[in-house]
Amino acid sequence: MNHINAQLTARRTSLAKQQSTSSIELSVSNTNNTSIELPEEIESLNVGSDYWRQAKGNRYRMLIREGHLSRLLELAEIARTKDKPAFWFAAACSKAEWERTLKFLAKLAEVQKTAVQVAQKLRTDVTKFIYQQVWLGVNVERWADTAAEVGKRKAAYFAWLCRREVQARADGRV
């Protein structure tokens, strides 16, 4: 019976407090909207003390509210390939680096598109070498067209053309 009386007293006290607070106080106290659940891919990269986990979680939720969920998931996938995934992900999503991260993701999409086109011209799979050449700024589409005219050893000829261009740049001939 005492337990029930204690619960009723607690409810009355909380109702009295809510009625005594103004609408401004209620709206200020409710601005911490953490109703967005972080996907497991992102949550698993949110490490550290409780304070930092909360702060970073709020940052990720804000980015999700702004419409960047797909970008965050893409960054989480990239982070898994790094030595320190949680650190890399937190740095990439930081306020100071976010604009740079968006440029990186745009460039990455462009590189992937170009790599797929080159692989189709060479009738091969997309390889790490093709990605490297695209990132280096080698004229891969031109060399893929040239190599596509060769018979059996298209990929080897493509690689030779790309390496020759990189070496010419290093020697200052281009």
Domain boundaries, the chain: 35-96, 102-174
| Average of per-residue pLDDT across 52-63 | 88
133: CB partners within 8 A, 6+ apart: 140, 162, 166
Tell the burial category of 144 from Cβ atoms under 10 Å away from its Cβ (0-12, 13-18, 19+). Answer: buried
pLDDT tens digits, one per residue of 141-152: 999 999 998 878
pLDDT tens digits, one per residue of 105-162: 999 999 999 999 999 999 999 999 999 999 999 999 999 999 998 878 899 999 999 9
State both tokens at 29: 């106290």
**Higher-scoring residue by pLDDT: 8, 67:** 67
| Average of per-residue pLDDT across 22-33 | 46
Q: How far apart are CA 134 and CA 154, in angstroms?
A: 17
Helices (H), 66-122: 69-79, 85-92, 98-122
**Mean pLDDT, rounded, of the chain:** 83
Q: Which CA distances in Å does 41 have to 60, 85, 97, 112?
A: 12, 11, 20, 22
